[in-house]
Amino acid sequence: MKKAKVFRPTAFAFPYIAVTVVFVIVPLLLVTLYAFRGNDGSFTIENFNYIFSQAAYRNSLFKTVGIALLATVLCLLVSYPVAYVLASHPFNKMAVLALLFVIPTWMNFVLRIVALKSVFNWMGLKPSFWTGIIGLVYDFLPYMLLPIYTVLSNLDKSYVEASKDLGSNDFLTFWKVTFPLSIPGIISGISMVFMPIFSAYAVTGLLADAGTTVIGRGIEQLFSQPSGYGAGSALSFVLLLLVFIVMFLSSFITGKTNKTLTGGKKR
C-alpha cells in the first residue's frame, strides 16, 4: 500500500506561506542586509551615520514625524464628531450616509488630489505647508473616520443609558463613558493614518511647496541610483523600527483600555 499522509486542510495555506517568504520576508531581509552592508560587503553602520549626519535626511525624518502628527490630529478632530453624529440617532438608521464618506476612497487618490489642486488653484492658494497638510487630511480622513464610526455604532446603548440613569448629563456621559469606550477605534484610526503619511509623498509633491515633503520622497530619490541603495535601505530600516514602535504602542494602549474595560469582571 502506498504510504500517504492523512490530508490536513492547513495545507491550503502553504502556497501563501511560500509567497510570503519570497515576496515579503526576503525583501525585508534584503533591506536589512543593504542597510548594514558597506561597499566592500562587510558589516557596517556607516549608512546610518550618513543619513543622520546629512541634515537633509535627518531634518526630513523629523519633519515627517511632525507632519504626520499634525495631519493625524487634524484628521481625528474632524472625523470624531462626524463619526459620533453618524452613530447617533437618527443618523444610525441611514446606512447610506456613512457610505457617502467612504465612496471617494474607492476612486483613485491621485485623481482626488489633482481635483483638490485644481480647486486650490482656482482659489488662488499657492502650494505651501498648509495646502500639503489639508491635502493629507483630505486624503486620509475616511481611514480615521471608519474605525471610529464602527466602534461607536457597535457600542452597547445600555452603557449610555446606565450613565444617564445614574445621573450624569450628556457631556459627562460622553466624557466618562462613550469616549473611553471608543479609544480602540481611535487607536486603530491613528495607526491607519500616521504611518501611511510617511509614504504619501505624492500628496505633498502635488500640493505642498518644495520644502514640505515626507521621508518617502527621500528614500525614493536615494534608490534612484545604485550608490544610494545602502543609505536608502538604512532609512527604510529606521521606518521599519518606527512601524514596530507604533504597533507596540497601539497594541499596548488597546490592551490597556480593554483591560480597564473588563477589569472588574476578570476572574
Partner 1 sequence: MKDKKILSLVIRWLILIVVLIAIYLPIALIILYSFSEVRDLGGEYGSFSFGLYAKLFQNKELMTATMNTLIIGLVSAFLATILGSVTAIGIHYMTKMRKVVDTASQITVVNAEIVTAMGFYLLFIFLRDVVHLSFDLGLGWLIIAHTVITTPYVILSVSPRLKQLNPNLLEASMDLGATPIRSLVTVMLPQLFGSMISGFALAFTLSLDDFVVTSINGGKTYTISTFVYNHIRRSGVLPEVRSLSTIIFLFVLIAMIVVNIVKNKNLKKEK
Partner 2 sequence: MAYVEEKIIDLVDVCKSYGDTPAVKNLTLYIRKGEFVTLLGPSGCGKTTLLRMIAGFESPTSGRIFIEGEEITSKPPYRRPVNTVFQKYALFPHLTVFNNIAFGLKLKKIEAGEKNGKTIYRKLTKQEIAEKVNRALKMVDLEDYGYRNVNSLSGGQQQRIAIARALVCEPKVLLLDEPLGALDLKMRKEMQIELKRMHQELGITFIYVTHDQEEALTMSDTVVVINDGQIQQIGTPKKIYDEPSNAFVANFIGESNILSGTMIKDYLVRFLGVNVPCLDKGFNKNEQVDLVIRPEDIAISENGEGQFKGRVTSSVFKGTYYEMNVLSGDYEFTVQNTSEFDVGKEVVLKIIPDSIHIMRKMRTINSFEGEIEDENTVYFCGESFEFANRGEFFEKGDEVIVKIPFDAIEITDDENDGDIGATVTQSLYKGSYYQVQIFTDGGEDFFVDTPYEWGLGDRVGVRIDPQKITVEKVDYSESEGDSANEKG
CA 38 – CA 46 distance, rounded (Å) = 7
Work out how close the CB of 27 gets to partner 1 at its nearest, in angstroms, rounded to a whole number: 3
**Considering CB distances under 5 to 8 angstroms, the limit depending on partner class, which of partner 1, partner 2, none binds residue 63?**
none
Q: Cβ of residue 53: shortest distance to partner 1, in angstroms?
A: 21
- Angstrom distance (rounded) from CA 47 to CA 62: 18
User: Nearer to partner 2 by C-beta: 3 or 265?
Assistant: 3
Q: Site for partner 1 (CB under 8 A): which residue of 240, 253, 254, 257?
A: 240
CB of 145 or CB of 183, closer to partner 1: 145
Which of residues 4 and 123 has its CB atom nearest to partner 2 in the complex?
Answer: 4
CB of 84 to partner 1, least distance (A): 9
Nearer to partner 2, 7 or 122 (CB): 7
Counting contacts by CB under 8 A, is residue 13 touching partner 1?
Answer: yes
Where do the DSSP E strands lie in 32-103? none
**Phi, psi of 166, deg, nearest 5:** -85, 5
Cα 104 from chain centre: 18
Q: List Cα–Cα distances, 141 to 14, 69, 75, in angstroms.
A: 37, 14, 5
Footprint on this chain of partner 2 (rule: CB under 8 A)? 1, 3-7
Q: Is 8 exposed, middle or buried (0-12, 13-18, 19+ CB in 10 A)?
A: exposed
| Cell numbers for 250 | 497601539
Contact partner, 82, from partner 1, partner 2, none, Cβ < 5-8 Å per class: partner 1
Considering the complex, state which of residue 12 and residue 23 has its C-beta at the smaller distance from partner 2: 12
CA distance linking residue 191 with residue 196, whole number of Å = 8
- The window from 17-25, 43-51, 55-63, 253-261 that contacts partner 1 (CB under 8 A) reads 17-25
What does the alpha-carbon distance between residue 20 and residue 136 come to, in Å, rounded to a whole number? 31
Q: Residue 14 or 62: which CB sits closer to partner 2?
A: 14
Among 45, 56, 77, 85, interactor with partner 1 by CB under 8 A: 85
Question: For residues 67 and 81, what is the distance between their CA atoms, to the nearest angstrom?
Answer: 22
Q: Is 245 a residue that touches partner 1 (CB under 8 A)? A: no
